A and B are shown apart, each in its own frame.
Chain A
Amino acid sequence: MKILIVEDEKDLLNAMVDYLHQSGMTCEKASTLEEALERIDLYDYDGIILDIGLPDGSGLKVIEEMKKKNHQTGILIVSAKNSLDDRLAGLNIGADDYIIKPFHMPELVARIKSVFRRRSFQGKKELVMNELRVIPDEMMFFVNDKQVPLTKTEHDLLMFLLSNSNKVLTKESIAEHLWGDHADMADSFDFIYSHIKNLRKKIIDHGGRDYVKSVYGVGYKFHSE
């Protein structure tokens, strides 16, 4: 997966590149609008992570250019909390999703992967990992080709874990992914623990392997091997 990250804050840009790189994506950087326009003109990308507020103009221009080229590139807008208008404008002219600063890195990965999935396979794609198989849009989950019923939260959790397999996921990032604004309600994080436990049990009960490991004090990790 080849991704272009457009972000004017160099340190943040580098951190994003490093993290996405760890997740197995190829990343290219642009920190100004001009640079970004130049890059999309020269290369094709599977996805673009786009900060709207750039020093030399609005990132919305990048979306317009992409539309002109009629690309299948997925676009994820990164916006500040207070720029609701930019976000809506971006979605209107063809961005696929948005993420609000500040965000957890695993959340970014989950979002860009989801955008990419929707773009490339019109959402029909199955996610297969060893004996596990998920059809995200229909919320169906199979272990060894036997369907396993999941609650919505468990499904969201599974997708988040699969998108970030082999990564340590903090409890905060999981809580925020699952409950958004209400994340701080899960303050003791017993909620996450019980969901993880249920999910693990369902996979193992249907003959799957034990993929989810707890990382002491920090969170959880989904081992794909």
Chain B
Amino acid sequence: MKLLNVTNRYYIIIAVALVLIGCGFLTYRLLYLFDREITQHMLLEKQVIDQQLYEEKKLQHMSFKFGDHIEVQPIDKFTTFRIHVNDTEMFDPLKKEVVAFRILSYEQQIDSTGYRIKIRRRLTEDQDVLYGVLVAVVLIGLDVVISFYFLNRWFSRKIWAPFYAALNLLKNFDLRKEGKPRFRSSAIEEFNRMNNELRKLTDKVTSDYHNLKEFTENMSHETQTPLAIIHSRLDVLMQAENLTEQQQEHIRTTLDAVNRLSKMNKGLTLLAKIDNNQFLDEKEFSIAEVIEKHLSQLDIFIETREIRVIKNLSPRIRVTMNVNLADVLLTNLLSNAIKYNVDKGILKVALDEKTLVISNTGDAPLLSSEQIFERFKRGGEKIDSTGLGMAIVKKICDFNGLEISHNYYEHLHSFTVKLNSDKVKLT
């Protein structure tokens, strides 16, 4: 939920509650006031009637009705001074419906004659007024809530603008790209503080990243020459006459170690180079052709292990990417599918405009589908593997915006590369 909606939600809840409470209070007060006012009005009427009864002698001893409003009835005996006020519902012949009435009835004695006087008053008008007022109040409340909502939106947009700007900068922040995010200063202190901290943080991350990158680069570059020297010296040493078997063994194990180190070095250098954007020149080419080329280079290994190759390559698919990286990607995937295959196993290569799937028969994986792509994670006892092959594959895929996944189903390992539709062309 957006911050804006959260504050708005609270505002609206509170505003609605306030309007409701206000309505209740207003209704209560209005009802009370009307009630009092009506009764007082009736009492005033009573006085007028009393006055008139007293003065108009001819009216005395008569029972009369004054519309449905006032009713005077002589009674035999005056009993009480009490005034009764009660609300009732009566049929209104004018409106032809049952409506609420208030009746004020009392007994009055004039010149020893007792009268019962009833004053009636319709309550409908007052209720109408009350309803009118309530509707007006609710409308005002609604008005307030709506303007609150939009005003709040507008204010929040304005006030939180620096926050959203910073958020956007962070979203687009990419260590590999040049240029630091430029957080703008704002009039609000909190945002300025946040931006300052973000600036420090991104600067730190950037410099750490560059240091690390530089270290990896230097490390892999600077170790190349010493490695080459060890290697060449071992080559020379190996040629010496009269080496004992033990010495030969020493040379052999050293050579193995140096070879592994060289391979690892090569892999790490490649990873560092991809990070450094050193493979930017892209070309359009047919993947099927490149796959065929690699398969033919690998055919000796395929034949020797009697691996059955099932190809389903659409030759019409051309992709745009760096050729060297494509070579490495396909070599690694294909070699992997042969290396970890079983004798007389199957190697499937399928290519359509959306995906490239390379599958091979194999034992259940020791690593999870995610771990397979991590550096120095080996899926077996293969001492020759550097543990970098799949990490390189992943890096190349990431670099080119390709999605790669692995799954294992019914003795078949499958690596699926989702092609980037922007860079695929059909011919």
Contact = CB atoms under 8 A, between A and B. Distances in A.
A12 B236 contact: no
A191 B248 contact: no
Contacts of A179: 297, 300
A159 interface: no
Given A185-B298, A185-B339, A218 B304 contact: no
A183 to B, nearest CB: 9
Contact of B229 (A9, A181, A191): A9
Interface string A206-217: 000000000111
A216 B248 contact: yes
Given A19-B232, A179-B297, A184 B225 contact: no
A215 B252 CA distance: 10
A88 interface: no
A195 B187 CA distance: 78
B202 interface: no
B82 interface: no
B266 interface: yes
Interface of B: 224-225, 227-229, 231-233, 235-236, 238-239, 245, 248-249, 251-252, 255, 259, 262-263, 266, 269, 273, 278, 297-298, 300-301, 304, 327, 331, 335, 338-339, 382, 384-385
Contact of B301 (A18, A22, A101, A185): A185
A178 B29 CA distance: 103
Interface string A148-174: 000001000000000000011010110
Given A22-B239, A185-B301, 10 more contacts: A12-B225, A15-B235, A16-B232, A19-B235, A81-B266, A101-B224, A105-B231, A184-B263, A191-B300, A216-B245
Contact of B269 (A12, A81, A191): A81
Interface string A80-116: 1110000000000000000001111110000000000
A194 interface: yes
A218 B235 contact: no
Contacts of A104: 231, 235
A17 B327 CA distance: 34
A187 B382 contact: yes
B239 A218 contact: no
Nearest to B227: A102
Contacts of A80: 224
